[in-house]
Amino acid sequence: MPSDHSEGEEGFEEGRWASEPERIDPDDYPPLRPFARVMTWAECAACGIQVHDLAVRFLVAGLVCPTCGVRLTEPPEDGMERLRTLLRQEDELSEQIE
């Protein structure tokens, strides 16, 4: 019997995606080419899970728990400015890991 050491530990063991993955435009990234997306997460205390999403999506829409629908974070006020910077940074990072 495999030992389950995650049981009984405090914290947010499970992670869920806040939204479905985006479709990738093959003109941007061909299949099997690595690319960088910046992620972020927040915890939903009610569900005991980590809610993960793209940072660009968080900047635009905040984070909503996919299980209970509670809004975990509002989008930052300067989200649209930070979005432009972040998209540029993601491009730069993707080039670096080629």
Within 4-33, which residues bind Zn ion (CB under 5 A)? none
Give the interface segment with Zn ion, choosing from 7-15, 27-35, 36-44, 78-86 (CB under 5 A): 36-44
Q: Which of 30, 34, 40 is nearest to 93 (CA)?
A: 34
Give the interface segment with Zn ion, choosing from 33-41, 54-62, 63-71, 74-82 (CB under 5 A): 63-71
Q: 16: exposed, middle or buried (C-beta count within 10 Å: 0-12, 13-18, 19+)?
A: middle
> Are residues 13 and 70 in contact, defined by beta-carbon separation less than 8 angstroms?
no
Give the interface segment with Zn ion, choosing from 19-27, 37-45, 79-87, 89-97 (CB under 5 A): 37-45
Q: Using the rule CB under 5 A, is 44 a contact of Zn ion?
A: yes
Report CA dihedral (51, 53, 55, 57) to the nearest 10 degrees: -120
60 phi/psi in degrees, rounded to 5: -90, -40
Q: Using the rule CB under 5 A, is 43 a contact of Zn ion?
A: no
Q: Using the rule CB under 5 A, is 68 a contact of Zn ion?
A: yes
In the complex, the residues that contact Zn ion under the rule CB under 5 A are 44, 46-47, 65, 67-68
